[in-house]
């Protein structure tokens, strides 16, 4: 299974936040970002890896700003790189945004978020 690297995460951050990667690297808590990537790698199922990565990036906030959108794009990139497809939720972008907000606030548990991600990841 292909995993994201810290370089991948910084490139995603650069694209999402429109901040040069070198500058973003200096402002990012790289140890926290590495921990998020490692936590994802300890899971065996792709959906669980994607959920763990997104959750850790959202809750641990390694970036100076924009952790939620970067976490979402990183999750989707991980899914895509591993030949799976993200099935948009019935509630569309609003459900996606609400779910990420609930995750960030702690209103959504790890298990509930992981189950939600599992429902939206399909092998190609």
Interatomic CA distance for residues 61 and 59, integer angstroms: 6
pLDDT for 124: 84
Mean pLDDT of the chain: 96
Q: How confident is the model at residue 36 (pLDDT cuts 50, 70, 90)?
A: very high
SS3 state of residue 4: coil
Ranges of each domain in the chain: 6-123
Statement: residue 80 has pLDDT above 90:
yes
Q: Where are the alpha helices (DSSP H) in 5-107?
A: 6-17, 21-27, 30-41, 46-60, 67-81, 92-105
pLDDT score of 68: 97
CATH of 6-123, one of 3.40.50.2300, 1.10.10.10, 1.20.120.1870, 2.40.440.10: 1.20.120.1870
């Amino acid at each position: 299974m292909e995993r994201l690297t810290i370089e991948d995460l910084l490139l995603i951050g650069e694209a999402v936040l429109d901040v040069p990667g070198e500058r973003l690297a200096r402002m990012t808590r790289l140890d926290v970002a590495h921990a998020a990537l490692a936590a994802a790698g300890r899971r065996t199922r792709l959906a669980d890896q994607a959920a763990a990565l997104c959750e850790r990036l959202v809750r641990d906030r390694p970036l100076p700003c924009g952790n939620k959108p970067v976490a979402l794009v990183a999750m989707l990139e991980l899914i895509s790189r591993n030949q799976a497809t993200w099935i948009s939720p019935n509630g569309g972008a609003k459900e996606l945004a609400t779910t990420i907000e609930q995750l960030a606030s702690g209103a959504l548990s790890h298990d509930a978020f992981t189950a939600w991600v599992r429902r939206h990841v399909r092998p190609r």
